[in-house]
Amino acid sequence: MAEQKNITFEAAMEQLEQIVERLEEGDVPLEESIDLFQQGMALSKVCHSKLQNIEKKMDTIMKDNGESEPFLVKDDEQ
């Protein structure tokens, strides 16, 4: 399940949500609960990694002239 290298963030989140729902039901046998937990942790790691990659990409922004510069979020309070 989570071992798919090309899984999208959305697909990983959907699978993770299904696992959480299943575990929250409370009627899952212990061995299956452990397997589901491990799968969920692997999916969580995939999601975290994909989010970190996106954050790195958003750290710089391309200007109209082709130059890149740091992407800074301006506070509304200023």
Structural domain boundaries in the chain:
9-70
Please report which confidence band the pLDDT of residue 2 belongs to, taking 50, 70 and 90 as the band edges: very low
Of residues 15 and 77, more confidence is placed in 15
19 CB burial (10 A radius; 0-12, 13-18, 19+): buried
Q: Is 15 helix (H, G, I), strand (E, B) or coil?
A: helix
Task: Provide the pLDDT for residue 1.
Answer: 47
Q: Is pLDDT at 24 greater than 60 in this prediction?
A: yes
Q: Where on the phi/psi map is residue 20: left (φ > 0), alpha (ψ -120 to 50), or beta?
A: alpha
